[in-house]
Amino acid sequence: MANDRKSTVSSFYGSRRSNDVLSSDFPPPAGQQRARVESTNSFYGPNRNSRADMYDAATAGYNQHSYPDQGRTEPVKGGDEEAAWDVYADFNNAGPRYSAAFGMGDNGYRQVPSPTPYSPQTSAYGKQSAASLSGAHGAAGNVEMVTWKAEELRGMSKKAKREEKLDKAATKWKAWNRGESGLCGSHFTRRFTAWFIFGLIAVYHRSHPGIHHPRVPSFSTNVSQPLSPATSDYNKTVTTEFSRSPANFSFPGLMKLQLDTGDNFLPLHFSNIHGSLYDLETSVQVASGDTGSLTLPAKSLPVIGLNLNFTYSAVNDSDTTWNNWYAACKNKAIYTDNKRPAVQFRLILDMKISGLIGTHSTSTQVTEADCPIQLPLNSV
């Protein structure tokens, strides 16, 4: 019990015993005082007789002998602490290995042979025999072969690098198209680029108002032959016929027109040109035709052909319009001077031009024109 209650730690005041009554059953005999023993671990040294001077001690209450052994204090490499230790030895392949466990110790690294410049004349690059190769391998030991995976070999090819560049470009294009990035870092995003180009176009058109706007061209007819026979392809689509009962006629024809596009700086595109032909005396429509879509060059005088379908129907053969065109289309042999009377009409052209709103019209009159067909002698 006494041993359990006694302190086993060296006392700070010189290992004094406790005065606890439980520590001793009987008081010590009178005159028998225990000599004071100063512990070597005490704050007061063994040769010190008094505790009056607190600053006389050179050591603390605990020193290195108060703790268990922590291992060696010499460097890991071993040897004398005062000896110089080359920290570059491991990098120069001259120092020992860190561990000698499992029989892997070595006095130093194997020197890597320095590279030799390539020279076709040297025998080192010549063909070596199998014996020399085996001897070299035997002296140096096992040679570690470098292996490459198929993915690594493919990644070093030009095709893979080209595909990588294309993937990066596609990624940048998708990011720009989504508005996540710009053409130059964060600048020139998709929205900003669209507004920027629109502004440039607006400024350009404002500074050059008449260059890109199309203008309605002027027309002129062939003075010597305003009307001519239709082409073979169109001639088959319209039946040539004159009849007295009922009074009507139908036949194909062609009218050549010359356009003046000198006021245009860009090619002029027509969605369609529709022509309507009216008898000049009765103002009755007797023919119509369309050109369809066509494009004409700027600053030029192109000639186009307008196919006309002459069609008219009357009550009887006394109709003025029917008689005018019948007399002009008779056979020349009926007349003594082989001259048929001319037809007179007014031509109205309705044009739909790309770049211009609505339909633009122009008209002209012709007073001396020959009928594009000639009826047989036995005609009605």
Average pLDDT, the chain: 76
Among the residue ranges 37-46, 115-124, 213-222, 251-260, the one predicted with the least confidence is 37-46
Q: How confident is the model at residue 181 (pLDDT cuts 50, 70, 90)?
A: confident
Strand pairing of 285-290 and 303-313? antiparallel
Specify the higher pLDDT residue, 335 or 96.
335
Q: How far apart are the first and last CA of the chain?
A: 160
What pLDDT digit, counting tens, does each position of 98-123 carry?
A: 545 555 555 555 566 666 655 555 54
Q: How confident is the model at residue 246 (pLDDT cuts 50, 70, 90)?
A: confident
At residue 38, does pLDDT exceed 50?
Answer: no
At residue 208, does pLDDT exceed 50?
Answer: yes
What's the confidence (pLDDT) of residue 29?
A: 58
Q: Which residues contact 297 (CB under 8 A, 6 or more apart)?
A: 261, 267, 268
What's the confidence (pLDDT) of residue 68?
A: 62
Three-class DSSP category at 86: coil
Q: How confident is the model at residue 126 (pLDDT cuts 50, 70, 90)?
A: very low
Q: Which residues contact 372 (CB under 8 A, 6 or more apart)?
A: 227, 228, 229, 230, 251, 252, 253, 254, 310
What percent of the chain is predicted at pLDDT more than 90? 32
What's the confidence (pLDDT) of residue 202?
A: 85
Q: Which residues contact 108 (CB under 8 A, 6 or more apart)?
A: 93, 94, 95, 96
Q: How confident is the model at residue 188 (pLDDT cuts 50, 70, 90)?
A: confident
What percent of the chain is predicted at pLDDT more than 70? 60
User: Please, which residues bridge with residue 272 across strands?
Assistant: 352
Residues 107, 185: Cα–Cα separation, whole Å: 57
247-257 mean pLDDT: 93
Q: Which domains does the chain have, with CATH numbers?
A: 1-99 (no CATH), 167-207 (no CATH), 218-369 (2.60.40)
Q: How far is CA 372 from the centre of its chain?
A: 62
DSSP 292-341: -SEEE-SSS--EEEEEEEEEEE-SSTT-HHHHHHHHHTS-GGGSTTS-PP
What's the confidence (pLDDT) of residue 80?
A: 57
What's the residue count for the chain?
Answer: 380
At residue 3, does pLDDT exceed 60?
Answer: no
Q: How confident is the model at residue 90 (pLDDT cuts 50, 70, 90)?
A: low
What pLDDT digit, counting tens, does each position of 278-329 carry?
A: 999 999 999 999 999 999 999 999 999 999 999 999 988 899 999 999 999 9
What's the confidence (pLDDT) of residue 153?
A: 78
What's the confidence (pLDDT) of residue 67?
A: 59
Residue in the structure block whose two tokens are 């198929």: 150
76-93 mean pLDDT: 61
What pLDDT digit, counting tens, does each position of 326-355 carry?
A: 999 999 998 888 889 999 999 999 999 998
At residue 94, does pLDDT exceed 90?
Answer: no
Alpha helices in the chain (DSSP H): 2-5, 130-140, 150-155, 158-177, 190-207, 232-235, 320-328
Q: Structure pTM?
A: 0.48
At residue 15, does pLDDT exceed 50?
Answer: no
Residues 56, 46: Cα–Cα separation, whole Å: 13
